[in-house]
Amino acid sequence: MRIVAQPDRCVGAGQCVLVDPEAFDQDDKDGTVIVVRPRPESEAEIARAKEAVNVCPGRTLSLSVED
């Protein structure tokens, strides 16, 4: 499973960082998302990735199950 981001949609609200600061960070200049840990492993990490996808106001994030 992999976290996919489309930074051009990102509104920089940082909700993803609040949900999981180990998986997400924001660019210092324009606030857009940086996925620092794209592959959630444990169940807790996967749950947090799903929550981040759900709360993201820019509909920027998704989970890809293929790779």
Footprint of another protein (CB under 8 A) = 11-15, 17-19, 21, 25-32, 51, 54-55, 57-59
Please tell me what DSSP assigns to residue 28.
T
What single DSSP character describes residue 40? -
Length of the chain: 67
Say if residues 20 and 59 touch (Cβ distance below 8 Å). no
Work out what residue 60 binds among ligand SF4, another protein, none; the CB cut-off runs from 5 to 8 Å by kind.
ligand SF4
The structure tokens listed for 40 are 């959630």
In the complex with another protein, which residue's Cβ is closer, 8 or 66?
8
Name the site residues for ligand SF4 (rule: CB under 6 A). 5, 10-16, 26, 33, 56-58, 60-61
